[in-house]
Chain A
């Protein structure tokens, strides 16, 4: 198991954001975490990348315990977190953003990684000297993904990559993510509100509700699951949210 989360809980002050959440990601897999707004999806990714402290439970990556390790060291271990809202640095150039994706790596390695990213996203090469904040939403998402690939990550945590994008771009971003997983062989943990799209992409999925995993299973099983269909796949809405 590449990444294994065992019964972790996270609190914001007295508020419980995650309760005893467990999930497993195998090498080369693409795993999805679905759930409504506020279900704790972002918190789960932040817990893995060390941005929020975990109370109880363990997170093991490549046999190493991640809890308690500061986020920058977790990043250097090969866990790349592409945060919600893309997290690009708007007043830095496209190229500077990419360079930071491989921060701390030797120069020639950074240059090679950049070549690979440019091959994948030619538009970034055209705009390398532009300030990242001047890119369109779709291009910014490309930049965020490209920057995430700069370090040759073992696993990528993607937080709502489709957020705020036009439907046609959503399609393209998901296609890119599939490519990153299938062709580049990068393991991916994908967090999505767009359950229908996500379930077409991932092999295995978890459904998060108010901080707890309520359903899990292979994607095709989830697609067929009555509860999932009702709450997330636009079947008849049974509940208010």
Chain B
């Protein structure tokens, strides 16, 4: 039972990382019908930006705001920087080739991915970097045999708040309706007075910002970051996106959480070494039996 609860909580935690990243894929796909393969690398970039920011200012900030305050500032800094990177990416790598169709844009996305990954390697080096113990909160709660770190609790609570806010924004406000309308039919959305460029800016800001926040959380949770981490997390979050139904915002959240729990359970009960296999097995199964994903709408599109 203890293992189960422990793994369940671990799964929720990893799952919220996936959910954050998956949202970025899904938002961009919904509007642009583009799979932004560079998204995982934006997540890694966020992790590194916060890392450097903390190395540079954690001590000074912590003395004023406390450690948690410093971490919040680091997250905001990472989110803003990566959102800017996302906007630049859209402007430089995607907008010029939109007219050429969807496939060239995917190739461009792969190019951006390679670019960012190597950029991180050149700036921060090919070795692992470690989030220092001085800026990772260490407390934990002990309930019987169950041990939950304070960090994990904070991650889960912030995930609930952030995902809840985004759900509200997309599903309950008129602006969210405008985003969903644009996803369904860009031309008619324009006839409603919705500025397509504004919606593009929105998805290329919010997606990367959420990815960056996940990047900081992963850094704090695992302590170790590498320039290639974007690839692994990006791919898994992409599986989560497909699982929930690509282009569907609640779907990305559900897919991420489910995948995290599945992975943690598999690692806890079967084999930790094989946990990545289960993720891609899920991808194959979902593509075979329910290609539109759990919450996905009809994929039948005019081609």
A-side interface residues toward B, CB under 8 Å?
49-51, 70-73, 75-76, 80-81, 83, 87, 89-92, 96, 99-101, 103-104, 110, 147, 151
CA distance A100 to B173 in the complex (A): 11
Check A101 against B192 for contact (C-beta < 8 Å). yes
Check A89 against B193 for contact (C-beta < 8 Å). no
Could you tell me which residues of chain B, from 104 to 142, have a CB within 8 Å of some CB in chain A? none
A-B contact count (CB 8 A): 67
Residue in contact with A100 in the complex, picked from B177, B187, B196, B297, CB distance below 8 Å? B177
Could you tell me which residues of chain B, from 181 to 196, have a CB within 8 Å of some CB in chain A? 181, 184-185, 187-196
| B180 contacts chain A at the CB level, 8 A cutoff | yes
- Extra 20 A-B pairs, beta carbons < 8 Å, given A101-B192, A103-B192, A110-B174: A49-B191, A70-B195, A71-B187, A71-B190, A71-B191, A72-B193, A73-B193, A75-B193, A76-B193, A87-B185, A87-B188, A89-B180, A92-B181, A96-B177, A99-B177, A100-B177, A100-B189, A103-B174, A147-B192, A151-B193
| B178 contacts chain A at the CB level, 8 A cutoff | yes
Check A100 against B178 for contact (C-beta < 8 Å). yes
CA distance A147 to B181 in the complex (A): 13
Residue in contact with B192 in the complex, picked from A51, A75, A90, A91, CB distance below 8 Å? A75
Question: From residue B38, how far is it (CB to closest CB) to chain A in Å?
Answer: 28
Residue among B180, B185, B192, B193 with max Cβ neighbours from chain A (10 Å): B192
Check B178 against A51 for contact (C-beta < 8 Å). no
CA distance A181 to B89 in the complex (A): 48
- Say whether, besides A92-B180, A103-B178, A83 and B196 are in contact (CB < 8 Å): no
Check A72 against B190 for contact (C-beta < 8 Å). yes
Check A51 against B297 for contact (C-beta < 8 Å). no
Residue among A49, A103, A104 with max Cβ neighbours from chain B (10 Å): A103
Check A83 against B178 for contact (C-beta < 8 Å). no
14 contacts between A and B (CB under 8 A): A50-B190, A51-B191, A70-B195, A72-B190, A72-B193, A76-B193, A81-B191, A83-B191, A89-B188, A90-B184, A91-B180, A92-B181, A96-B174, A100-B177
A residues near B188, Cβ cutoff 8 Å: 83, 87, 89
- Say whether, besides A72-B195, A72-B196, A100 and B190 are in contact (CB < 8 Å): no
Question: From residue A123, how far is it (CB to closest CB) to chain B in Å?
Answer: 21
Interface residues on chain B, number (Cβ under 8 Å):
18
Check B297 against A91 for contact (C-beta < 8 Å). yes
Check A100 against B174 for contact (C-beta < 8 Å). yes
For B193, the closest partner residue in chain A by CB is A75
For A80, the closest partner residue in chain B by CB is B191
Question: From residue B165, how far is it (CB to closest CB) to chain A in Å?
Answer: 19
Check B187 against A83 for contact (C-beta < 8 Å). yes
Check A75 against B174 for contact (C-beta < 8 Å). no
Q: Which 10 A-B pairs have the closest CB atoms?
A: A87-B188, A71-B190, A75-B193, A96-B177, A100-B192, A76-B193, A103-B193, A89-B181, A72-B195, A81-B191
Check B191 against A89 for contact (C-beta < 8 Å). no
CA distance A71 to B174 in the complex (A): 19
Q: Chain B 204-246, CB within 8 Å of chain A: the 1/0 string?
A: 0000000000000000000000000000000000000000000
A residues near B191, Cβ cutoff 8 Å: 49, 51, 71-72, 75, 80-81, 83, 87
Check A91 against B184 for contact (C-beta < 8 Å). yes
CA distance A83 to B191 in the complex (A): 9
A residues near B189, Cβ cutoff 8 Å: 100
B residues near A91, Cβ cutoff 8 Å: 180, 184, 297
Check B194 against A103 for contact (C-beta < 8 Å). yes
CA distance A80 to B193 in the complex (A): 9
CA distance A87 to B188 in the complex (A): 6
CA distance A71 to B185 in the complex (A): 14
A residues near B185, Cβ cutoff 8 Å: 87, 89
CA distance A49 to B189 in the complex (A): 12
B residues near A147, Cβ cutoff 8 Å: 192
For A93, the closest partner residue in chain B by CB is B177
